[in-house]
Structures are given as structure tokens and as C-alpha cells.
């Protein structure tokens, strides 16, 4: 997209990619920030499942809120609006079971044990 690509890789790389219409190799895509990881084909499924598992360890409510905040704030130019969105979400999160569990786990120096579906305010 002519809108999102410059935000990802900068104007110069966007122009280069679009004006040359050349194939971008995996390492170049990684270096440019188009992808987060590059794996060998035989490692891809295990790595993807591992990443999905890491994400799934977090409370559903938290994941939804993070996705919403990132999408809302990504193109917002007014930092005070971004801060307000974050402050409202953090305040809401402080009342959750997941927040309490995270604090206890931190004090006990252990990994939190979140319960899916029970973390919403």
C-alpha cells in the first residue's frame, strides 16, 4: 500500500520497491522491516507454532486491547490522544484478575498463570 509501506520501511525504500517492481529476497525483506523473521522452510511451522504459543499465554482481553490500541494509535499524530488512549486502557486493566496475577507473579519471581476468558474487567 502506498499509505502503509512508507511507514514501515521509509519513503526511499518504498519508492525503490515500487518503482523497480523487483522481487525482494527474504533477507532484504527482514533488513527493511517488511517481515519480523526469516526461517528455513523446514523450521517455519515449529517457529510459527512457538510464536503463537507465546502469544496465547497472555490474557485474551489484553491481546484484544493491545491490538486495538496499536491500530488506533498507529497513525495518530496527536501524542496527547495516544497517551489518553493508553491511560484509559491501563486504568481499565488495573482492575483485572490478570493484572493482579501479573503483580503477584512478579513479586514471586515466577511466570504468571493467566486463565483464558477470566481476565476481562
Alpha-carbon separation of residue 63 from 33, 54, 57, 66, 111 (angstroms): 22, 12, 10, 5, 17
pLDDT at 11: 95
In a domain, 72, yes or no: yes
Residue that has been written with the C-alpha cell 520501511 in this structure: 9
- Are 83 and 94 a contacting pair, CB within 8 Å? no
Is residue 120 pLDDT above 90, yes or no? Answer: no
Tell me the average pLDDT across 19-27.
95
Tally of structural domains, the chain: 1
Per-residue pLDDT tens digits for 39-84: 999 999 999 999 999 999 899 889 999 999 999 888 888 999 999 9
**Closest C-alpha among 97, 102, 90 to residue 121:** 97
**In this structure, what CATH number is given to the domain that contains residue 106?**
1.10.12.10
In a domain, 33, yes or no: no
- What is the residue range of 70's domain? 58-121
In a domain, 36, yes or no: no
pLDDT band at residue 3 using 50, 70 and 90 as cut-offs: confident
pLDDT at 117: 59
Amino acid at each position: 500500500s502506498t499509505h502503509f509501506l512508507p511507514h514501515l520501511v521509509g519513503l526511499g525504500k518504498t519508492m525503490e520497491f515500487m518503482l523497480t517492481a523487483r522481487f525482494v529476497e527474504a533477507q532484504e525483506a527482514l533488513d527493511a522491516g517488511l517481515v519480523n523473521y526469516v526461517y528455513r522452510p523446514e523450521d517455519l511451522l515449529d517457529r510459527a507454532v512457538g510464536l503463537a504459543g507465546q502469544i496465547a499465554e497472555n490474557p485474551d482481553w489484553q491481546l484484544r486491547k493491545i491490538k486495538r490500541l496499536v491500530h488506533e494509535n498507529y497513525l495518530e499524530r496527536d501524542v496527547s490522544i495516544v497517551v489518553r488512549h493508553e491511560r484509559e486502557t491501563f486504568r481499565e486493566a488495573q482492575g483485572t484478575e490478570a493484572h493482579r496475577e501479573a503483580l503477584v507473579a512478579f513479586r514471586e519471581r515466577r511466570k504468571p498463570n493467566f486463565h483464558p476468558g477470566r481476565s476481562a474487567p
